[in-house]
Amino acid sequence: MGIFDFLSGEFIDVIHWTDDTRDTMVWRFQREGHEIKYGAKLTVREGQAAVFVHEGQLADVFTPGLYMLETNNMPVMTTLQHWDHGFRSPFKSEIYFVNTTRFNDLKWGTKNPIMTRDPEFGPTRIRAYGTYTIRVKDPARFLTEIVGTDGEFTMDEISFQMRNIIVQEFSRIIAGSGIPVLDMAANTADLGKLIVAEVGPVLAGYGLEMPEFYIENISLPPAVEEALDRRTSMGLAGDLGKFTRYSAAEAMSHAANNPSGGGAMGAGLGMGMGMAMANQMTRSGPWGATPQQSDPAYAAPPPPPMEHVWHIAENGQTKGPFSRASMGRMAAEGGLSRETHVWTAGQDGWKRAEDVAELAQLFTVQPPPPPKGG
């Protein structure tokens, strides 16, 4: 065996990487002196890319496949490296394997509440969280912009920066969207698309892309949630009297079963509440109504009808509200015509005055002729 054959055997012939982790994005091929023999076999598996860095300069990028490291498939490296000794000499280069698969189920969330202006609740603070997916789209750019000379780069090293970018764009889009807080849950898919569109150019500068983005939850402050719960409970209760009696019964049951409050105290409280409810039912009749209310002869009169007030659209501006009497005076004085657009609560959009039955009468009733002089 000649000295040349001995040296050739000292250098590696096969270059490959199998990832046994779930978060490694870049791994540098380790070789003493970074010496690789000309003609060695390079295996790049699906979901990988191999980036050659020669003397500090990015050279070739190999996509999935099997390669013989020779002149015909290493154009940049061939230009940088002067192949001497019949193209048999080793060359010193660094090889970085880049994981191009998706990194799934990455978390994001708002560290601090986001201030928004809600049309119903006014200034409101909200929080949000969700998941996203990231992957390397441009291995060369990712290596030069983010990884540098790191021999093993993991997702944890960049996830914090990803969260900052996402939260920044999410805060800006939510604050300017004008979507009511109660309707945001129905628009999370559209909001996610807007955020991906805004974050995309920033990630492209890092050689990354975001294939998926999900908003799992948008929550309100506890005080606002409690107010919503109370409003919902009142709507479900319907009859306030029955709801009050039901709440008293529930409180009595909890007080009687509360071991920390003492048996005597719980029993006394339950007895007192029971007596109060019994007295109330005795005074009110069998169904909680007073004798006058339970007797049809003593039925309370219905509430008076609510008078409508009207708004007028004129020259792109809204005027009002005006009562019906005011509208009648305006019609008589010429300030209100049949073509004037009006609106009142409960009406489906703006309508012309002559199309509203209640106002059309103002234009059909004509005064009688004036008396003859004499």
| pLDDT for the residue numbered 43 | 92
151's CB contacts (< 8 A; 6+ apart) are 27, 28, 30
Summarize the confidence of residues 136-145 as an average pLDDT.
Answer: 93
| pLDDT for the residue numbered 260 | 57
| pLDDT for the residue numbered 87 | 44
pLDDT at 373 over 80: no
- For residue 71, what pLDDT band results from cuts at 50, 70 and 90? low
pTM of the model: 0.55
- The class of domain 103-221 in CATH terms is alpha beta
Question: Comparing 34-48, 103-117, 137-151, which segment has the lowest mean pLDDT?
Answer: 34-48
Instruction: Considering only residues 135 and 370, tell me which one the structure prediction assigns the higher pLDDT.
Output: 135
Q: What is the pLDDT of the chain when averaged over all its residues?
A: 77
Percent of all residues in the chain with a pLDDT value above 90, rounded to a whole number: 22
Distance CA 76, CA 61 (A): 9
Q: At 245, phi and psi to the nearest 5?
A: -65, -40
The DSSP-derived string for 44-69 is E-TTEEEEEEETTEEEEEE-SEEEE-
- Report pLDDT digits (tens) over 166-221: 999 998 888 888 888 888 888 888 889 989 999 999 999 999 999 999 999 888 87
Helices (H) and strands (E) in the chain, counts: 11, 17
CB 25 within 8 A of CB 103: yes
- Does the bond joining 123 to the residue before it have cis omega, within 30 degrees of 0? no
- Report pLDDT digits (tens) over 30-60: 766 556 777 788 899 999 999 988 777 888 8
Alpha helices, H only, the chain: 3-10, 75-80, 139-142, 156-177, 188-204, 222-237, 240-256, 263-284, 291-294, 324-333, 357-364
Q: What is the DSSP letter of 366?
A: -
Q: Which of 194-198, 226-230, 324-328 has the highest mean pLDDT?
A: 194-198
* Residue in 93, 84, 86 with CA at minimum distance from that of residue 62: 93
- Report pLDDT digits (tens) over 255-271: 666 655 555 445 555 55
Quickly name the fold that domain 310-364 has.
Dna Ligase; domain 1 (3.30.1490)
Summarize the confidence of residues 228-247 as an average pLDDT.
Answer: 67
Summarize the confidence of residues 2-18 as an average pLDDT.
Answer: 60
Where in the chain are the domains?
Answer: 3-99, 103-221, 238-296, 310-364
| pLDDT for the residue numbered 330 | 86
Instruction: Considering only residues 224 and 242, tell me which one the structure prediction assigns the higher pLDDT.
Output: 224
AA letter at 129: Y
Summarize the confidence of residues 237-245 as an average pLDDT.
Answer: 63
| pLDDT for the residue numbered 8 | 44
pLDDT at 287 over 90: no
Measured between alpha carbons, how far is residue 216 from residues 109, 228, 259, 289, 303 in Å? Answer: 10, 20, 40, 47, 46
